[in-house]
A and B are shown apart, each in its own frame.
Chain A
Amino acid sequence: MLRLEPRREPSKAMQVLTPVFAVALTILAGLVLFTILGKDPFRAIWLIFFEPLTQTYALAELTVKGTPLILIGAGLAMGFRAGVWNIGAEGQFVAGALAGGSVALALHETAGLWIMPLMCIAGIAGGMAWAAVPAFLRTRFNANEILTSLMLVYVAILLLSALVHGPLRDPEGLNFPESRLFSESMTLPILIEGTRAHAGFVLALLAIAVAWLFMERHLLGFQIKVQGQAPPAARFAGYSEKRIVWLCLLTSGGLAGLAGTFEAAGPVGQLVPALPIGYGFTAIIVAFLGRLHPFGILLGGLLMALTYIGGEAAQIAMSLPSATTRVFQGMLLFFLLAMDVLVGSRIRWVPRQAAG
């Protein structure tokens, strides 16, 4: 029978290889899934995973969808490394969009280069404020941040809906629940003419570089890793758990808020109830897919963006249900978690009698 044996040292090769295995297995499982759905499996896989890579427009879209995923994923990964489970990034994303968007709407008659940075700061502050609630409740009352941050997602989405139905509704519109369109000073500069690729992607790349420096070289990054791997050792060293909880939640909340502002000020261009489309949750997969490492998250974010774009293309071309993408994303995370066992253990064939 097969037996799992712990390795003395976690395998470095496996750490890199398991995400690749997981993607391969997801594609295999996808072939089965599409066959069950009665669709041409190879065409579907081609459309989802490969076709977008051959078109400029789709490549540009990759950066559009990748930007929020990378930004949020980088922040979440920091927390996950510390054992701080912020799973409410979707809510922080919405809060950031609301804060940044409100600044834009308040200034809708002004113009200037200073507006966009101000929106970004407001967005970061909004996301941070939303994340500060679970941080405060955990450090002060010991309340589980998984549940509190998640509950606040629903609250944020309802708040967005209430506000665009009410005070933030476009007064010149047709009573639709949506805000004014943002003017040019309130939208992100476009990187490539004719596409939606915007300057936010550059900031996302910058965030990855900073995150790497922070996690691998800075003392706070080191403290985060120690706290996550061995809390008693963190106490022994004298690292403050509360400080780490605050740091992780505020950083991930701020990045999610920035991503929200980018989404409103980029591809959407206004505030609408349907602004949150699950980036905050998908970013959790991105974080794990990237092995909680900044460079991995960059690749993971682009890969997940690919499944969004390819998924949409396949939806249109083959009339696939829209939920297919989410099933894919879920399967990918499952396979990844299952493969992870290979990092810490090796699988060996042992004769049945001795293994028992």
Chain B
Amino acid sequence: MPEPLLELDGIARGFPGVLANDDISFSVGQGEIHALLGENGAGKSTLVKIIYGVLRPDAGAMTLRGKPFAPHRPSEARAEGIGMIFQHFSLFEALTVAENIALGMAPELAKGDLRSRIVEVSTRYGLRLDPDLMVGDLSVGQRQRVEIVRCLLQDPQLIIMDEPTSVLTPQEVETLFETLRRLAGEGCSILYISHKLEEIRALCDHATILRGGKVVATCTPGEETARSLAEMMLGESLSPPATDRRTPGEVRLRLDGLSMASDTQFGTDLEDIGLEVRSGEIVGIAGVAGNGQTLLMSALIGEARAGRPDAIRLDGRPIGHLPPQGRRKAGICFVPEERLGHAAVPDMSLTENVILSARMRKNLSRSSFLNLPRAARYAGDVVARFGVKTAGVDRTARSLSGGNLQKFVVGREIMQEPSVLVASQPTWGVDAGAAAFIQEALIQLAKDGAAVLVISQDLDELFAIGDRIAVIANGRLSAADPVDSLTIEQIGLRMGGRVRGRADAPAAAEPAHA
């Protein structure tokens, strides 16, 4: 065991109603890659915020190189040689790479010729970066490089990485791991936060496993199996979703030549998207965030309208010109990625929130007046069938936990018995129990004859529930191939933008931002 660099002793931190960290103790050695493993809500994020000085603990103490360490703000942690790569990057899109990096450094360090130092460090670690580009114009992978370079410029002794690979292609993950191993070899410690078991087994020397805010186990990941790690993390064994393949029926959803220009500053345009989803099958769309998924979803919902009605067909009928309500009436329902604020109005009750998308198919209004009793009944049905934990349908959407709200939103759509369901990131950020429940519900819906399209960045999920997988990269969609015929590596190559073309678009697209 190498010399301990950072030691935590009995750290505790509470928030109204929850104890996010409860008596947490562990240590990170010099040059060690230490995993902090736990599912959503286990208290990982709170803990790293304490180490980085964003939050302060209610109890407990830390030592760094044997000396007491209690940072009051991130700049103090940085001064002590601690760097942090955030899960949701702390970057400013409208500022340049150099400006972003300067902001994350102590003023003394940011002086002088920062640009040439950026170029120097980024070349040394093979993380090529142009300091004068706007961050908004960079791909997600490149943005992560900005964060890493910012960290490295401060000669860190400990780098904290919060779920760094969730936004990367498998190949980018490999490159990242090489960089991290090299840093560890140079004596830099890394605290690596994740819930991805294979990654942790491949990369980390030690692991501390959190559950419900407590340390429940420590181990050497290389000596464990993914299954044993999962059981430590979840405290129970979960059966994977049943994967018996269904026989697909007729085509229910058909996209053909769907192109659309993004109306946001740093958005990706959709180019000539084509796809068929049949009754009884689940088709997955994989891809790194920011490759056009958001626009594709709003094109499908009808928030942004495609030029040609027949770019989107439902059971053969053109619906590309229809507004969202018209599409729902025709039989297609949607689960958008952002549950709070997009799929549901935070401060409205569950009753009001079912009116949002189920008014048409569930007759929740009569001659433009709301039928509130009926809406309350439907909300109650969703809560009951999907096991949503809430004190009542008059509670606001905001008051529900992430997993419960997601179950409610998915349930609200599924119980409308749509012929096509489109779901974006249906299990993103929810606990394992809710995720499994939602995946089961999607599979059941397909079994009952619906066509299901799932847009997700979670490859494991797509492989677990999908029948076919297509990849979206730089606004273009690859062919959807059967899951059995695909490997993670093939998907990864397509995610990097090397699209194996559809019949009518054979030319390989340029890599996104090479």
Contact = CB atoms under 8 A, between A and B. Distances in A.
B356 A226 contact: yes
A131 to B, nearest CB: 23
A232 B341 contact: yes
B431 to A, nearest CB: 18
Given A229-B348, A235-B303, A219 B368 contact: yes
Nearest to A219: B368
B69 to A, nearest CB: 16
A12 to B, nearest CB: 10
B334 interface: yes
A5 B16 contact: yes
Contact of B348 (A5, A6, A225, A240): A225
B115 interface: no
A238 B399 contact: no
B345 A222 contact: no
Given A219-B365, A226-B348, A230-B346, A237 B357 contact: yes
Contacts of A222: 352, 355, 370
A226 B354 CA distance: 12
Interface residues of A, number: 23
B342 A229 contact: no
Interface in A235-285: 235-238, 240
B56 interface: yes
Interface residues of B, number: 39
Interface string A1-14: 00001101110000
A249 to B, nearest CB: 20
B347 A236 contact: no
A233 B345 contact: yes
A174 interface: no
A356 interface: yes
Interface in B292-347: 298, 301-303, 323-326, 328, 334, 336, 338, 341-347
A56 B90 CA distance: 64
A230 B336 CA distance: 14
B369 A217 contact: yes
B448 interface: no
Residue picked from A6, A232, A233, A354, most chain B C-beta under 10 Å: A233
Interface string A198-242: 000000000000000000011110100110011011011110100
A217 B398 contact: no
Interface in B8-65: 16-17, 56, 58
B342 A233 contact: yes
Contacts of A236: 301, 303, 324, 334, 336, 342-343, 356-357
Contact of B347 (A10, A218, A232): A10
A232 B301 CA distance: 12
B396 interface: yes
B395 interface: yes
B341 A238 contact: no
Nearest to A228: B345
B264 to A, nearest CB: 13
B246 interface: no
B298 A235 contact: yes
B56 A230 contact: no
Contacts of A8: 17, 398-399
A235 B324 CA distance: 8
Contacts of B302: 238
Given A219-B365, A219-B370, A354-B58, A238 B342 contact: no
Contacts of A217: 369-370, 372
Contacts of B348: 225-226, 229
Nearest to A226: B345
Contacts of A356: 56, 72
A8 B372 CA distance: 23
B151 to A, nearest CB: 25
Given A235-B298, A356-B72, A219 B369 contact: yes
Nearest to B17: A8
Contacts of B345: 225-226, 229-230, 233
Contacts of A220: 368
Interface string A154-171: 000000000000000000
Contacts of A232: 338, 341-342
A10 B396 contact: yes
Contacts of A5: 16
Contacts of B301: 235-236
Nearest to A353: B56
A6 B347 CA distance: 13
5 contacts: A8-B398, A219-B369, A225-B348, A233-B343, A238-B323
Interface of B: 16-17, 56, 58, 72, 298, 301-303, 323-326, 328, 334, 336, 338, 341-348, 352, 355-357, 359, 365, 368-370, 372, 395-396, 398-399
Given A232-B342, A235-B301, 7 more contacts: A8-B398, A10-B347, A230-B342, A233-B345, A235-B303, A237-B325, A237-B357
The 6 closest A-B pairs by CB, nearest first: A238-B324, A232-B342, A238-B325, A235-B303, A230-B345, A237-B356
